[in-house]
């Protein structure tokens, strides 16, 4: 249509792996995750001594971007094993892991951040004041599930998907999010694009637990 699209990276999202708090496992390597997804590893005691049984992998739904990311990045486009199941929504993945000791959930990190869980709708005035303050907030994770640490196969260190570890690449399961618009200056779509890529929009993204593209995190 001879339109001129404009795109910009707005955030870096991480894929979190969650298990039931009764699961004693704390760390998975990329190789172990790949073998769980492909069905080569089917029992928890194949990873470490465990009283738990067969591993049940839970995604949100079959056509989601999370499913596509794991297939492309870890399985090179291959098929999942028979132990992989799809729910309908991200909250259903969360509930499945809470209620099933053998489950491991694959979910976007924003769905397990405490900021998202406890957020209450505030007035427009208080929201505006919050966005004007140039601070950084470190999101913590929902304690109803356990968030696993992930390590690269060539590393002995493992990391959880906190913003700092997404920022410097130490947490390996991450992906860039882009916003694309064909709106010209003065149109609502162009204005929204400018808002999201500006300071206030980037701060909203930061408060969800994922990493904004242009706000520098404070390393403490």
* The pLDDT of residue 33: 93
Q: Do residues 211 and 12 make contact, with C-beta atoms less than 8 angstroms apart?
A: yes
Q: What is the residue whose two structure tokens read 């795109």? A: 7
53-95 pLDDT, tens digit each: 899 999 888 888 888 888 888 888 888 888 888 887 888 888 8
Judge whether residue 142 has pLDDT over 50. yes
Strands 149-151 and 27-29: parallel
Residue pLDDT, tens place only, 8-44: 999 988 889 999 999 999 999 999 999 999 989 999 9
Q: What is the pLDDT of residue 114?
A: 53
Residue 120 pLDDT level (bands cut at 50, 70, 90): very low
Beta strands in 24-131 (DSSP E): 27-29, 56-59, 84-86, 103-108
Number of other residues whose CB lies within 10 A of the CB of residue 35: 18
| Cβ neighbours of residue 90 closer than 8 Å, sequence gap 6 or more | 60, 107, 108, 111
């Amino acid at each position: 249509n001879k339109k001129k699209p404009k795109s910009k990276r707005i955030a870096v999202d991480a894929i979190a792996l969650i298990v039931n708090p009764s699961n004693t496992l704390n760390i998975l390597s990329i190789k172990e995750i790949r073998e769980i997804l492909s069905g080569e590893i089917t029992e928890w005691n194949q990873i470490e001594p465990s009283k738990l049984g067969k591993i049940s992998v839970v995604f949100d739904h079959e056509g989601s971007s999370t499913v596509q990311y794991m297939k492309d990045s870890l399985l090179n486009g291959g098929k999942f094993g028979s132990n992989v199941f799809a729910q309908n929504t991200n909250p259903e993945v969360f509930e499945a892991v809470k209620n099933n000791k053998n489950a491991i959930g694959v979910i976007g990190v924003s769905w397990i951040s405490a900021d998202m869980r406890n957020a209450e709708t505030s007035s427009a005035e208080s929201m505006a004041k919050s966005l004007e303050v140039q601070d950084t907030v470190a999101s913590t994770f929902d304690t109803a599930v356990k968030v696993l640490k992930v390590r690269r196969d060539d590393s002995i260190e493992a990391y959880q998907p906190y913003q700092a570890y997404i920022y410097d690449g130490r947490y390996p399961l991450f992906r860039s999010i882009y916003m694309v618009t064909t709106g010209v200056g003065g149109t609502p779509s162009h204005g929204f694009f400018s808002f999201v890529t500006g300071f206030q929009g980037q701060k909203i993204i930061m408060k969800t637990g994922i990493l904004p593209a242009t706000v520098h995190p404070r390393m403490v």
